[in-house]
A and B are shown apart, each in its own frame.
Chain A
Amino acid sequence: MSLFPFVLGLADDALILGHRLSEWSGKAPMLEEDIALSNLALDLIGQARLYYQYAGEIEGKGRSEDDLAYLRDEYAYTNLLLVEQQNGDFAATMVRQLLYSAFMLPYLQAMQQSRDTRLAEIAAKAVKEMAYHVRHASEWVIRLGDGTEESHQRVQTALDDLWMYTGEMFHVSDDERALVAQGVAADRAAIKPAWDSTINRVLREATLQRPKDGWMQTGGRTREHTEHLGRLLAEMQVVHRAHPGVTW
């Protein structure tokens, strides 16, 4: 595996989840949370920029971060299916954020030891941001789960619905395995115990039931997406595509 698709996958994960969170801007349940969600979105979009810039340099075809973000179609995106799922209600957004950030925090901690210094540097910056994402999402999931009957039901439903997209986070493709062997990529599969530990702790405190590990839906890394990504990209890319090269 060349480094390019690996870095592109990390970039796509961050951008798509960041864009999803940005969809809450102006309509979150309360002002404080509106700003909090925008902060989380900006963390992720900032991380995506660093990965896209690096990916463009690795590819060496002169593609900029904007080219990679705005001028690739759905079938060229390789983000995890989890991050493209719709926001749903606030509970679903927080559950998605918890499932992702509880993985990314230990993953980025491991990536700080990457033999690729650029990736190690990006991880060192992102790891602090991700620690806050875990904290924020955890606290909300705990309060919604251990809240009212309705909030408990909503957060449990979101957990049950999103669970089948969690398996993909730990899947190491044959190509990625080669990068793991070279000490460039962290081993996703090895992150599972840390993720389990965070998720179990939060769900216990939230009085939520951990769903059974059944069928796990994969496909994002191999460009087979759910129906939600195309609509997200259409909205995200429309300005850039309507006004190519526009700056402001």
Chain B
Amino acid sequence: MSTACRLNLAFPVVGALVLLWLRPPEGSVLDDGFLLWFGVGAVLQLAAALVLTRRNHGSWVLGWVLLWLASASYMGAYAPVHLQEDALSGNWATWMAPEPKLPKELEKEAGEQHELPARVAEWRQHRDEAAAWLRTTFAADVLDDAFRTRAKADIGRAGLLLYVLSAIFLSAFFSIGWFAGRHSLHEYGVSGGSEEDPLAVNTMGRDPA
């Protein structure tokens, strides 16, 4: 079994263990809908790895298609986590961001020239909207320490999930590139692969040495 096949077996298995460990707990803003997409992707990648252990033309075609489908499924797993995390942490960041300070010189003439006080008022409005979203999402009456701890834990979990899902996606996508390489095409007896020497004469390139 080639190293590429071994890696394609290892990544979904290790990824599944890590994702199960990171599974959002009860009451989390994040949901675990991504696990279904990941499961489909993992099965496809494992199937691709097993199919590609047989070195013939048919295996290459099937394995390559399975890797594309696995990559697409991993993107599907990434999407819901990303969008939830985007809403959660976007509002969190707005709420937590320090209030903008105006340069002293501009503050005096801001009303006429730069409308900066109005901007600051708008910024405060955005902050209030973000706070309202956070209160609703976490069903918290007050933005107290316990709320902060829960929000931080969810954001941290989402960050880790994004990195893990990205790494698993890369393992499948890079395999697509690896198996499209000349060495792999040759190994699997795939006709139509370019047999041309990279340094050979080109219609417009340099002459051969």
Query: Do A and B form a real pair?
Result: no
Instruction: Write the residues of chain B forming the contact surface with A, with a CB cutoff of 8 angstroms.
Output: none
Name A's B-contacting residues (CB within 8 A). none
